[in-house]
Chains A and B, each alone.
Chain A
Amino acid sequence: MDNHILSAITFFPLIGAVLILLMPSKSFKLMRWTSVVFTGIPLLLSVRLYQLFSPASTGMNQAELYQFVEKYPWISTFHINYYLGVDGLSVTMVILSALISFIGVFASFNIQKAVKGYFALYLLLATAMTGVFLSLDFFLFYVFWEVMLLPMYFLIGIWGGPRREYAAIKFFLYTLFGSVFMLLVMLVFYFSANTFSLVELSSIMISKDYPGYLNVSVIRNAAWILLFIGFAIKIPVFPFHTWLPDAHVEAPTAISVILAGVLLKMGTYGILRISYPLLPEETMKYAPYALGFLGVVNIVYGAFVAMAQNDLKKLIAYSSISHMGYVMLGMASLNVEGMNGAIFQMFNHGIITSMLFILVGVIYDRAHHRDIHALGGLIQQMPRYASFTAFAFFAGLGLPGLSGFISEALVFLGAFKVYSILTIIAASGIILTAAYLLWAYMRVFFGKLHEQHREFPDINAIEVISILPVAILILLLGVYPAPYLNVVEPTMQKMVSIFSDSSGLAFNLINQMSHYLFRG
Chain B
Amino acid sequence: MDQMANYIWIIPAAPLLGFMINAGVSFFYGADAPAGLKKLSALLSPAVILVSFFIGLGIFLEMLGHGESERAVSQNLYTWIKAGTLEANATLYLDQLSIVFVLIITGVGFLIHLYSTGYMDHDRSMIRYFAYLNLFTFAMLILVMADNILLLFVGWEGVGLCSYLLIGFWFAVPKYASAGMKAFIVNRIGDFGFIIGFFMLFWGVFHYSGTTNIAFDSLKSVVGSLPGWYLTTISLLFFFGATGKSAQIPLYVWLPDAMAGPTPVSALIHAATMVTAGVYMIARMSFIFIATPFTLTVISIVAALTAFVAATIAITQNDIKKVLAYSTVSQLGYMFLAIGSGAFTAGVFHVMTHAFFKALLFLGAGSVILSAHHEQNILLMGGLRKKIPVTFITFFIGTLAIAGIPGLSGFFSKDEILWKVYSTPNEFFPELPLFLWLTGLITAGITSFYMFRLLFLTFFGKFRGDDEEAYEEVHESPLTMTIPLMILAVLSAVSGYIGLPESLGGQNLIHKWLAPVLALKEEPVVNHEMESHLMNLSILVSFAGAFMAYVLYILKPATPGVIAKTFAPIYKLLYGKYFVDEIYEAVIVAPLLKIRLMLNTFDHKIIDAFVNLTAVVTKAISRLHGIFDRVFVDGAVNNVATFTQYQAGIMRNLQNGSMNRYLYYIVGSFIMIYVFIRIL
Q: Give A residues with C-beta under 8 Å from B.
A: 21, 25, 75, 78, 114, 116-117, 120-121, 124, 139, 143, 146-147, 150-151, 153-154, 157-158, 163, 165-166, 168-170, 172-174, 176, 180, 187, 239, 241-243, 301, 304-305, 307-309, 335-337, 340-341, 377, 379-380, 383-384, 387, 394, 399-401, 405-406, 409-410, 412-414, 416-417, 420, 423-424, 427-428, 430-431, 434-435, 438-439, 442, 445-448, 479-482, 485-486, 489, 507, 510-511, 514-515, 517-520
Contact = CB atoms under 8 A, between A and B. Distances in A.
Contacts of B161: 394, 399
A176 B662 contact: no
Contacts of A401: 154, 157-158
B81 A481 contact: yes
- Identify which of A180, A400, A431, A439 gathers the most chain B CB atoms within 10 Å of its CB: A400
Interface stretch (B109-117, B509-517, B632-640): B632-640
24 contacts: A21-B663, A114-B657, A114-B659, A121-B662, A146-B669, A150-B669, A151-B666, A168-B651, A176-B633, A180-B632, A242-B607, A304-B600, A400-B156, A410-B83, A413-B199, A416-B199, A424-B196, A428-B192, A438-B164, A447-B171, A480-B80, A485-B81, A514-B233, A518-B232
Contact of B83 (A307, A423, A485): A485
Contacts of B177: 442, 446-447
Which residue among B168, B615, B646 has the maximum number of chain A CB atoms within 10 Å of its CB? B646
B136 to A, nearest CB: 13
Contacts of A307: 593, 596
Interface of B: 27, 30-31, 78-86, 150, 153-154, 156-158, 161, 164, 168, 171-172, 174, 177-178, 181, 184-185, 188-189, 191-192, 195-196, 199-200, 202-203, 207, 227-230, 232-233, 294, 593, 595-597, 599-600, 603, 607-608, 610-611, 615, 618, 632-633, 636-637, 640, 642-643, 646-647, 651, 654-655, 657, 659, 662-663, 665-666, 669-670, 673, 677, 680
A151 B156 CA distance: 46
Nearest to B164: A438
Contacts of B599: 301, 304-305, 308
Contacts of A379: 171
Q: For A124, A413, A439, which residue has the most chain B Cβ atoms within 10 angstroms?
A: A413
Contacts of B632: 176, 180
A107 B79 CA distance: 36
A410 B170 CA distance: 36
A324 to B, nearest CB: 16
B609 to A, nearest CB: 10
A482 B82 contact: yes
Given A305-B600, A379-B171, A410-B86, A431 B662 contact: no
B229 A514 contact: yes
A35 to B, nearest CB: 16
Given A377-B172, A401-B154, A431 B659 contact: no
A515 B83 contact: no
A430 B192 contact: yes
Contacts of A242: 603, 607-608, 611
Contacts of A394: 161
A299 to B, nearest CB: 13
Contacts of B81: 406, 409-410, 481, 485
B670 A147 contact: yes
A312 to B, nearest CB: 15
Given A117-B662, A410-B86, A427-B195, 8 more contacts: A168-B651, A305-B596, A308-B596, A308-B599, A384-B30, A400-B156, A420-B199, A434-B188
Contact of A340 (B84, B184, B230): B84
Output the residue of A243, A305, A420 with the most chain B CB within 10 A. Answer: A305
A308 B597 contact: yes
A442 B178 contact: yes
Given A427-B195, A481-B81, A169 B643 contact: yes
Nearest to B603: A305
Contact of A447 (B174, B662, B677): B174
A259 B636 CA distance: 19
B200 A510 contact: yes
Contact of B643 (A114, A170, A406, A480): A170
A143 B669 CA distance: 10
A504 to B, nearest CB: 9
Contacts of B680: 187
Contacts of B174: 442, 446-448
Contacts of A511: 230
Contacts of B30: 383-384
A301 B618 CA distance: 28
Contacts of A335: 84
B78 A480 contact: yes
B84 A337 contact: yes
A169 B646 contact: yes
Contact of A520 (B181, B228, B597, B640): B228
A515 B85 CA distance: 25
Given A434-B184, A447-B174, A165 B665 contact: no
Contacts of A416: 196, 199-200, 203
Contacts of A165: 642, 646-647, 651
A515 B680 CA distance: 60
B83 A336 contact: yes
Nearest to A78: B677
Contact of A120 (B156, B207, B659, B677): B659
Contact of B184 (A169, A438, A447): A438
Contacts of A150: 636, 665-666, 669
B78 to A, nearest CB: 7
A384 B27 contact: yes
B172 A380 contact: yes
Contacts of A158: 654-655
Give the top 5 A-B pairs by smallest Cβ distance, nearest first. A336-B84, A446-B177, A308-B600, A518-B229, A400-B154
A410 B301 CA distance: 35
B171 A337 contact: no
A78 B230 CA distance: 59
A435 B195 contact: no
Contacts of B655: 157-158
A502 B149 CA distance: 27
Contacts of A336: 83-85
Nearest to A139: B677
Nearest to A397: B188
Contacts of A154: 654, 662, 665
B230 A514 contact: yes
Contacts of A431: 185, 188-189, 192
B386 to A, nearest CB: 40
B83 A489 contact: yes
Contacts of B633: 173, 176
Nearest to A435: B185
A379 B85 CA distance: 43
Given A139-B677, A424-B196, A507 B203 contact: yes
A515 B229 contact: yes
A400 B153 contact: yes
Contact of A438 (B27, B83, B181, B665): B181
B86 A442 contact: no
A383 to B, nearest CB: 5
A406 B80 CA distance: 10
A520 B428 CA distance: 11
A520 B677 CA distance: 67
Contacts of A168: 651
B491 to A, nearest CB: 32
Most chain B CB within a 10 A radius of its CB, from A147, A309, A438, A445: A438
Contact of A400 (B31, B157, B203, B227): B157
Nearest to B151: A400
Contact of B637 (A173, A337, A406): A173
A170 B86 CA distance: 43
A363 B467 CA distance: 46
Contacts of B202: 413
Contacts of B618: 173
